[in-house]
Amino acid sequence: MRLTVLGSGAGLPSKERKTQSIILDLIPEINAYFLIDVGEALQHQLLHTNIKSRKINHIFITHLHGDHIYGLPGFLSSRAFQGGENQPLHIYGPKGIEEWLEVTFQISGTHLNYPFYVHEIHDGMTLSVEGYQVDVRLLDHPIDSYLFVFKEPDKEGSLDADKLKEVGIRPGPIYAEIKESNTFEHDGITYNTSEFLGPVTPGKKIAIHGDTRLIKDSEYKRLIENSDVVIHEATFLDNESEKAHEFGHSEIHEVMELFKSLNIDTTIFTHISNRYDENFLNNIKQKLPEQTYIAEDFFSFQVK
C-alpha cells in the first residue's frame, strides 16, 4: 500500500503544485488504485507516473469545490482511450456530482465505453469497497466536505505448523482444509482452528480529509485515532488560525497539536497555498516532528 499526492496545491495551482489529487496504490493488495479527489490536470500528472488509468476503478470525492473535481471529466474521457474499455468505475461523492457529469458528457458529446456508477455519500455512512471498509464523515467547510477513513481487512494469522505437529498432524493438503473450517477432528478429538492460528495482522487505516476547519469532537477523534496515515489539509501554515477558520480551513500547528493525543503513526499535510514560497516551506519542514510531512506534487509514502 502506497500513498502518492499527485496534486498538493490549494485553490489556485502554482507552477510547482497542481490542485488536489491523491492516489492510494492497492496494486499489491487488490490490483487496483483508489483515487481521492481529481484536481484539474490529474490526467497530465498521471503521464509522469506508471499508474494505468484503467486500474483506477474507485474514485472518492471529498467535496465539490473546483480544485477537487475539475480534472474528473478529462480523466474519465481519456480513460476510455487508455485501455479502460469495459473496466467499470465507481465514483463516491456528494450530491450534485452525478448531475454535473451527466450535463458535462451530454454537452461535450462524450460516450464512455465502460460502465460507471455514481454513489452519493452522506455523513455517517460506511462503504464497503473491494473488501475495504470506508467510513464517511462530514467535516466543517462552506460546502459539504467529507473525511474518508479507509480500513484494510485484517489479515488472519497463519497456521502454526509446530502446534499442529504437537497434536500429531503433519504438513499436507489437510492444512488447507483446516484453515477453511472453524473446527476440525483428529484422532477423535475436536479442535478449534483458532487455537492453531498465529496472531491476526490488523489492516492498515488511512484517513484522508477534504478541506475543513479543525474538528475536535470525540466521534471524529475515534474515527481517526490509531491511523497508520492521516492526510490533512494545511491551507494555513503561519499561525493564522483565526483566518483559517474564517475561510473554512485549518492551520498546521493546531492540527499537529490535536493529533499528538491520537496515536497517529504518520501525518501528511497537503492543500498548500500558492502564497508560500519554497524558503518559507523549508523553514516549516525543518521544524516538523518525526513522521510528519508537507507534501509536494508526487510526494509518495509507503505504508508499512
Cell of 296: 509536494
Q: Does residue 110 interact with a second copy by CB under 8 A?
A: yes
Q: Is 208 helix (H, G, I), strand (E, B) or coil?
A: strand
Q: Does residue 298 interact with a second copy by CB under 8 A?
A: no
Q: Determine which residue in the list 6, 23, 38, 97 makes contact with a second copy, applying CB under 8 A.
A: 97
Tell me the pairing of strands 32-38 and 21-26.
antiparallel
**Binding residue per annotation — 211?**
yes
In angstroms, the CA 72 to CA 261 distance is 36
Strand order in the sheet with 56-60: 116-120, 89-93, 56-60, 32-38, 21-26, 2-7, 299-302
In angstroms, the CA 147 to CA 144 distance is 10
Q: Does residue 77 interact with a second copy by CB under 8 A?
A: yes
Q: Does residue 88 interact with a second copy by CB under 8 A?
A: no
Nearer Cβ to a second copy (73/203): 73
Nearer Cβ to a second copy (8/266): 8
Q: Do residues 259 and 289 make contact, with C-beta atoms less than 8 angstroms apart?
A: no
Q: Does residue 193 interact with a second copy by CB under 8 A?
A: no
Q: Does residue 244 interact with a second copy by CB under 8 A?
A: no
Which residues lie near a second copy (CB under 8 A)?
Answer: 11-15, 18-19, 40-41, 43-44, 47-48, 64-67, 69-71, 73-74, 77-78, 81-82, 96-97, 99-100, 103-104, 106-110, 142-143
Q: Which residues are annotated as a binding site for Zn(2+)?
A: 63, 65, 67-68, 141, 211, 271
